[in-house]
Chain A
């Protein structure tokens, strides 16, 4: 196989069948669409090609600009190298490895504070607003590819749908994660148009409490212009830990070195299908990117996988004391913020706000091992980790069972 450039290698990814002993589903042929085999490592290589590469000769601006914290930035950096520069404006790079990869690739990364990427003209730090202003002020300098809204995104994946149909005419279910929602929308659009008995299109998002890089939760999806709830036959939700479980299954049992978003989709669809009547159905899930950038993510979210994290995994169990059993001789620490303590301190307590206490604990125990320490907070939940950490230093420490709020009448003046 010869190619004139790496852009030519985008697409035509294989389908890999998942062994029945791995997924454990009767009557299901489960296929991974191996988008992680694209040249720059992800499903986003396709939109890099349609949003930029195919249009590059008509782009007069010097620099392509996009709000991306990962795969789209990676693809666009690689694709723009010979003709334009690439700049990403983002506040979502939560993984150091991803930042390092983009730096090595040569991306100009403009990280702004905050956690939300949706457009907000009132917030000067908002990535999309910054991009909008930059393009407006310097149209000759910047070209915005606009992955969250442009139809070039789903259009790229109509080709993915075509490839799936070529291999699996009559495919029954397509499932992918809902990040920009472009992948599932493009594949679904093509298959619904071309297949008489259209496949059921499923999307997966992260539960509200979780974080899976590249994914969105239910609420964040409304921030992307491509998402349309009615487009999907089913929408599933899965957690961070589901995603990691799914990822590990695929890595360890199938040799598919995928990232957590793929794990999320795999976990959600296998869970859903386990309750369904299935007989000879072909189900395709999108294996969207590779494992390597997410090692730090795994360390943060599944520390037990790593030797260095064994200590954290083996933290002592949290210990609780009832309010009535607290004795004056115990060191009672009001872990609320200073304002709360000054307004109405818990009786007999000293104030070390939780953020401060957790910083101190990184250096060592701020209490003597001779002392019994009770960490006080409103609900008895936030102090759990600090209690465990103190106990790991052999300090007898407790959180208050159910917190201090239930006893407000006894301490609130």
Chain B
């Protein structure tokens, strides 16, 4: 079946008006990021755009151009942000850090989210003024059970003692949880308000991190229809996918389908703005919403969206080599490999677009690359194209802006994808 992507107008316009390269190419659209940021410009929160999902300096520059700060989690990201002319006061640093990274941050007096007591002790030992947020591993009972990040809540007493004997100042608290609901995020705020109330009265920042979801599909119900179809197939003893356990679903001995599909992350059909608006409306105290705290107090709420802002900012165009028959069905082979595409949510990739348009027909096919690996298949389901691809065609994959191809671990082993920055507006 066809599961079309939600395509930003800038990218649609580019595809309508331009020839695309004959080489594997990642097209990046900073204008789309600026548009995404425009959509949240009246949300009363402090936004640091997460650098981690992108290595593109153009994207970071675009975010800064819109007036947003940047969240860096490595020395390389810090250097990239500086090369994009972002001043230290508009940068914050999060994640585990080595001493070299900490030294550079302290030198610039960049706001540091402290990930461990060891980091905090090191900062204290440098005897310089430092602005820190304490990253809390388990701010509430219901979240933070298994995480390698942050300081355990019951160790905050130790953290307080370390800070009191140093020139560091606790600006606030930080928690990053992937895909938190608005309610759970508000619970984090509530927990941090109690910490501020009872232990750190001068703290004024509550950082609820990123982990927001990105809209990807034009019609969200397409995915559930596909899953329904897979389940029905499994019940009938057939499996249309490339995987023995499609999306985590499997047939048991009594012929029932078990498991819960894991390909589509929860929340991936909701705008970032909607997620933030819902969060603002949640209560953190009786008759007190997150929005009330922002309006009525000196406490600011910080967020670090990355993937939700970036995922639709790039596309990857991959040239077709040929089609072939396999025991699983037709396979379209492209002059590319799986590491050229964003791995993020790869099992539920939207249907790529075959260009040029050409004659109208339908052709169901898996799509694979040239690596000598059986898992070099780009969609674990057959996708429906409007005709059979042939050499000279391109397949355009959407949602390639976050954790894009050059993020992958072994690119040095394989040929790289070209990158082109497009300004459409």
Contacts from A to B (Cβ < 8 Å): 114-116, 118-123, 128, 132, 135-136, 139, 144, 146, 149, 208, 219-220, 222-223, 225, 228-230, 336-340, 342-344, 353, 355-356, 377-379, 382, 412
Contacts and interface: CB of A to CB of B under 8 A. Distances in A.
A353 B278 contact: no
A118 B287 contact: no
A206 B191 CA distance: 37
Contact of A123 (B6, B278, B293): B278
Interface in B290-317: 292-293, 295-298
Contacts of B228: 136, 139
B244 interface: no
Nearest to B281: A115
A317 to B, nearest CB: 24
A343 B281 contact: no
Given A116-B277, A123-B278, A355-B287, A340 B266 contact: no
Nearest to B204: A343
Contacts of B292: 336-337, 340
Given A120-B275, A121-B269, A139-B228, A339 B285 contact: yes
Contacts of B9: 228-230
A115 B273 CA distance: 13
B107 interface: no
B274 A353 contact: no
Interface in B205-244: 213, 215, 218-221, 224, 228
B267 interface: yes
B386 interface: no
Please classify the interface of chain A as helix (H, G, I), strand (E, B), loop, or mixed, using the class held by over half of its residues: loop
Given A120-B269, A230-B9, A338-B288, 20 more contacts: A115-B281, A118-B269, A122-B180, A123-B267, A136-B228, A139-B228, A149-B220, A223-B270, A223-B271, A225-B6, A336-B292, A336-B297, A338-B285, A339-B197, A339-B297, A340-B292, A343-B197, A343-B297, A377-B296, A382-B295
A120 B274 contact: yes
B42 interface: yes
B374 interface: no
Given A115-B281, A136-B228, A339-B293, A122 B179 contact: yes
A120 B180 CA distance: 11
B288 A337 contact: yes
B287 A222 contact: no
Contacts of B181: 122-123
A229 B6 CA distance: 12
Interface of B: 6, 9, 12-13, 39, 42, 179-183, 193, 196-197, 201, 213, 215, 218-221, 224, 228, 264, 266-271, 273-275, 277-278, 281, 285-288, 292-293, 295-298
Given A121-B267, A208-B42, A343-B197, A223 B274 contact: yes
Nearest to B222: A149
A356 B264 CA distance: 43
B220 A123 contact: no
B386 to A, nearest CB: 16
A344 B182 CA distance: 27
Contact of A119 (B196, B220, B297): B220
A378 B298 CA distance: 10
Given A122-B181, A355-B287, A342 B220 contact: no
Top-3 shortest CB links A-B: A336-B296, A119-B269, A121-B266
26 contacts: A115-B277, A116-B270, A120-B274, A121-B266, A121-B267, A121-B268, A122-B181, A128-B269, A136-B228, A139-B228, A149-B220, A208-B42, A219-B39, A222-B39, A223-B270, A229-B9, A230-B9, A338-B288, A339-B285, A339-B288, A339-B296, A343-B197, A343-B297, A344-B297, A344-B298, A353-B287
A144 B287 contact: no
A378 B294 CA distance: 11
B50 to A, nearest CB: 19
A340 B264 CA distance: 40
B269 A222 contact: no
A122 B267 contact: yes
A128 B219 CA distance: 12
A279 B162 CA distance: 77
Contacts of B193: 339
A128 B220 contact: yes
Nearest to A382: B295
A222 B285 contact: no
Given A219-B273, A339-B297, A120 B39 contact: no
Contacts of B271: 118, 219, 222-223
B182 A225 contact: no
A121 B219 CA distance: 14
